[in-house]
Amino acid sequence: MRIDSINPFNGQVVNCYETHKPDEVENIIRSVHLAWGNWRTISFTKRAELLNRTAGILRERKSELAMLMATEMGKPLKGGIAEVEKCADACEFYAKHTEDFLRDEIISTDASKSYVSFQPLGLILAVMPWNFPFWQVFRFLAPALMAGNCGILKHASNVFGCAVEIENIIRAAGFPENVFRTLLIPGSEVNPVIENGLVKAVTLTGSTEAGKKVAEKAGSLIKKTVLELGGSDAYVVLHDADLELAAETCVNSRLINSGQSCIAAKRFIVVKSVLEEFTDLFLKKMGSKIMGDPTDPTTDIGPQARTDLRNELHEQVKKSIEMSAKCLLGGFIPDGNNAFYPPTVLTGVKKGMPAYDEELFGPVAAIISAENESDAIKIANDSVFGLGAAIFSKDIARAETIAATQIEAGSCFVNAFVKSDQRLPFGGVKQSGYGRELSYYGIKEFVNIKTVYVK
C-alpha cells in the first residue's frame, strides 16, 4: 500500500511511502525485542550520553525539522522550531534525572532487607498523532529509553516523514540498532501489533474514539496502557480578572498550533459582569493574527492539517450557528486548494451545541456566559473531557483554591495558559484519558514496580 503525504498549504504531494507488509512488521518487532535483551543492561550513564547526543542533533537540525513539519502538517515555522527545542529539553531532563528517579527505594519491614526496584517492561508501542509530530513522540521516547525499554512508533499517516526522521535521529545519536523503530502502517493495522506477544504495553495520544479502541484491545490482552486523549479546556474568567491579560492569554492558547492542540483553550467561560469587555478585547486580538504560509516566519496561523479535518470543524461551527450561536469572526471556508480555516469566535454558546459539548480541533473559540463564579465552575466541569483548565482572577489565593480543588482536570493553571512541561506530570481525567506522561510520575508508567524482600 502507498500512502501520500500532502502539503495542506497547497494540496501538493510532499512524498509517498510504501507501508510495511505484515511479515516486515513482524520482523521489526522481533528485532526490537532482541535489541532489548542487551539495552536493558546498559548503564544509566551510557543511556544518558546517547540521549544528550540526541538533544544535540535535534538542536542542530531544528530549522530543517520545523520545515518538514510545516510541509507535512502545516505547522508555522516558529512553532516547529519551539517544538524541536522542547524535545531536546526533554531528552536532557531525563538524561539528568532518570537514575535518581529509578533508584531503589528502601522500605523498612520485618525483613533483613526490603526495597522497591524499578525494572523496564520491554517493548513499548507508541501510537502517536500528527499535531505535534516530534514532541508527542519524544515525551514518550526519552523516558522509555532511559528506563531501559525499547520503542516502536506507529505515527499518523500524514506525518510519516517526521516518523522516519525520528528513527534516523536516534540512529545518528549512536543508539544500538533496533532499540527504536518506526512502523509505516495505517491505523487499521494497529491491532495485530498490539496482539503481538512481544509488545508489553501501549501508549496513545489521540482522539477519545481512538483511545477507546486501543484500550479495548490492550485490555483484552491485559496489557498496560497510557492514554492522552481529547480535551475541551475551560478557561474561566472571573469578575476580578485582569481582562487584558486574560484576553491575550486566552487568544494565544486558542491559536496554539493553529488551534490543533488537545490542551488549547476551547471554552471561554466568562462571568456576565465582564463578558462584554472581555469579548471586545478577545475579538480584537483574534482578528490581529496573521494566517498564511506556514513557512513564512511571520505567520501565526497555518492551514489545518488536512482538508477533511477542516471540513468537519466547519460543520461543527455551522451546526452551532443553526442552533442560535452567533458568529462574530470567521466561520467560513476560504477559497483555494488548501486546508485553511480562519480564526473564528462564537458567542451565545449553550449546552447541546457542538461548540459546547464537543472538542473543536481548530482555531474556533466558544464564549460562554456564566452568572457568577459558582456557575462558571459548574459550566467548566459540565464536560465529558478533563484535560486542562485555567482560572483568571486577581485574587490569587482564591483562584488557586478553585484550580486545586474544584476544577475536574488533569492540570489547572492560574492566570496562564495550559502547557506541558517535562518537570510536571501531564494527562487527563474523564474521557481525556488516564495515566501520566513526563516528570517523575511519567517515567514510572512503563516500569515493573517490583518488591524485593530478603529474609
The answer to whether residue 136 is domain-embedded is: yes
pLDDT of residue 416: 98
Q: Give per-residue pLDDT as tens, 84-123.
A: 999 999 999 999 999 999 999 999 999 999 999 999 999 9
Amino acid at 160: F
Q: How many domains does the chain have?
A: 2
Q: Indicate the DSSP class of residue 272.
A: G
Same domain? 166 vs 191: yes
Q: Are 289 and 343 in contact (CB under 8 A)?
A: yes
- Pair (200, 169) in one structural domain: yes
The total of other beta-carbon atoms located within 10 Å of residue 288's CB is 10
* 253 inside domain: yes
CATH number at residue 204: 3.40.605.10
Q: For residue 359, what are the domain limits?
A: 233-421
Residue 426 belongs to a domain: no
Domain identity same for 164 and 85 = yes
The CATH number for 405's domain is: 3.40.309.10
pLDDT per residue rounded down to tens, the chain (455 residues): 999 999 999 999 999 999 999 999 999 999 999 999 999 999 999 999 999 999 999 999 999 999 999 999 999 999 999 999 999 999 999 999 999 999 999 999 999 999 999 999 999 999 999 999 999 999 999 999 999 999 999 999 999 999 999 999 999 999 999 999 999 999 999 999 999 999 999 999 999 999 999 999 999 999 999 999 999 999 999 999 999 999 999 999 999 999 999 999 999 999 999 999 999 999 999 999 999 999 999 999 999 999 999 999 999 999 999 999 999 999 999 999 999 999 999 999 999 999 999 999 999 999 999 999 999 999 999 999 999 999 999 999 999 999 999 999 999 999 999 999 999 999 999 999 999 999 999 999 999 999 999 99
In this structure, is residue 427 part of a structural domain? no
pTM of the entire structure? 0.96
Q: Are residues 202 and 248 both part of a single domain? A: no
Assigned C-alpha cell, 75? 505547522
259 and 222 in one domain?
no
Q: Are both 171 and 37 inside the same structural domain? A: yes
**Based on the domain organization, do 271 and 207 belong to the same domain?**
no
Burial of residue 347, with CB atoms counted within 10 A of its CB: 0-12 exposed, 13-18 middle, 19 or more buried: buried
pLDDT at 440: 96
Q: How do residues 210-238 score in pLDDT, each as one tens digit?
A: 999 999 999 999 999 999 999 999 999 99
Q: What is the pLDDT of residue 6?
A: 95
Residues 178 and 192 grouped into a single domain: yes
SS3 216: helix
Please check whether residue 334 lies inside any domain of the structure: yes
Task: Tell whether the torsion through CA atoms of 57, 60, 61 and 66 is positive or negative.
Answer: positive
Per-residue model confidence (pLDDT) at position 73: 98
Q: What is the pLDDT of residue 429?
A: 98
- The Cα–Cα gap between 83 and 71 comes to 15
Q: Are 240 and 219 in a shared domain?
A: no
Same domain for 159 and 38: yes
Whole-number Å distance between alpha carbons of 283 and 329 = 7
Residues 329 and 241 in one domain: yes
Side-by-side strand order, sheet with 233-237: 326-329, 344-347, 364-370, 265-271, 233-237, 388-392, 411-414
Please report whether residue 159 resides in a domain.
yes
Going 240 to 244 to 245 to 248, the CA torsion angle's sign is positive
User: Does residue 180 lie in a domain region?
Assistant: yes
Grid cell in block for residue 313: 470543524
Annotated catalytic sites, by residue? 228, 262
Question: Which three cell numbers, joined as nine digits, stand for 333?
Answer: 471556508
If asked whether residues 186 and 314 sit together in one domain, one would say no
